[in-house]
Structure 1
Amino acid sequence: MAKVGIADTAFARYDMGKAAIDELKRHSSVKIERYTVPGIKDLPVACKKLFDEHKCDIVMALGMPGSKPTDKTCAHEASMGIIYCQLMTNKHIIEVFVHEDEAPDGKELAWLMDRRAREHAQNVIKLLFTPKVLEREAGTGQRQGYEDVGPARQ
């Protein structure tokens, strides 16, 4: 049975880990291991621990960078660490970040965080069990969270 790691943060203003787990359980029968850390810069080591110590096959890294320039830099650093972790383990980490300034208010932010976590959980299921579905979606302008943008036309 496939094992999915959920690395999430206490800093986020919505429990994206819970939403991802709910979506995974709703659409698959995978084992789930959750590891919650304080903030996004802690996610790379959480992901590595989920692979090394908990033997996960794939990990979702969920976090909410703040809206200030420093937060954008921290998000970039966290993303770089996540990429390094993928290269070190040769396994996918699905990064699910929602920046605090992506939505005008808390209600829409919560909606976006829930939707993006769920849609990326569906991507995890596709990567694990039906990768040809992703191949068919190539070039179709899929977005997680807000509406898909569709393919560019010539």
Structure 2
Amino acid sequence: MSFRRIYGVADTTFSRVNMGELAVKVIKKEDPEGEVRRYTVPGIKDLPVAAKRLIESGCHGVITLGWVGRTQLDKYSYLAASIGLITVQLMTSTHVIDVTVHEDEAEDEERLKEIALDRTRKHSVNLVKLVRDGWKALTPLAGKGLRQGYEHAGEID
């Protein structure tokens, strides 16, 4: 009997790009034998409980997909959500990859969409590597200047 890997995808209705749908597609492509469970909540402050519930339902790793507005209040909300996601990881000893797009990352909406899709795609692959291949899976990539949402920065020799 083989081990069935279960991935969690938590996204929000506040996001302006359907990152959850993309994450599910990428995870299924990278690990066709895995199962994906999706949980959609209103906003980023709801992501920690969604991640925790996904883990409690059997998920071996979770990707959270959030969108942060431009105001200072939005940034404080993200800080609270980020602390919550870190707490979930520590409580459960399970990876929760926080993928967040901040509206002030780009003025152009098309560029914001590109950032969201690239970041989602790359981190979905990272989640699969961690869950399927184990805790050493990303070690060969350490120090490579890899970026999500942007072109890779590259190594400094």
TM-score in terms of structure 2 length: 0.93
1:4 equivalent in structure 2 = 7
Match in the other structure for 2:36: 32
Query: SS of the counterpart of 1:61?
Result: strand
Consecutive unaligned residues in structure 2, runs of 5 or more: none
Q: Distance in 2 between matches of 1:65 and 1:137?
A: 28
Question: 1:111 aligned to 101, 111, 114, which one?
Answer: 114
Decide which of 72, 75, 91 is 1:72's aligned counterpart.
Answer: 75
Residue in structure 2 matching 1:150, options 144, 151, 154: 154
Query: Displacement, 1:85?
Result: 0.4
Equivalenced residues, count = 152
4+ runs deviating over 6 angstroms = none
The corresponding residue for 1:21 is 24
**How far off is 1:130 after superposition?**
3.0
Partner residue of 1:121 out of 99, 120, 124: 124
Greater mean alpha carbon deviation, residues 106-115 or residues 125-134 = 125-134
| 2:143 counterpart of 1:139 | yes
Q: Percent identity between the aligned chains?
A: 45
Structure 1 spans left out of the alignment, 5+ residues: none
* 2-structure distance, mates of 1:107, 1:26: 25
Q: Distance in 1 between matches of 2:26 and 2:145?
A: 22
Q: Secondary structure at the match of 2:23?
A: helix
In 2, Cα distance between equivalents of 1:150 and 1:72 = 28
Matches of 1:133 and 1:45, distance apart in 2: 27
CA RMSD of aligned residues (A): 1.1
Partner of residue 56 from structure 1, selected from 53, 56, 59: 59
Which one is further off, 106-115 or 39-48?
106-115
CA distance in structure 2 between the partners assigned to 1:57 and 1:126 by the alignment: 12
The residue number in structure 2 matching 1:44 is 48
Residues 46-104 of structure 1 show CA distances to partners (whole Å, capped at 9, x for unaligned) of 0011111x210000010001111111111111000000000000100000001011122
Distance 2:133 2:47 in 1: 27
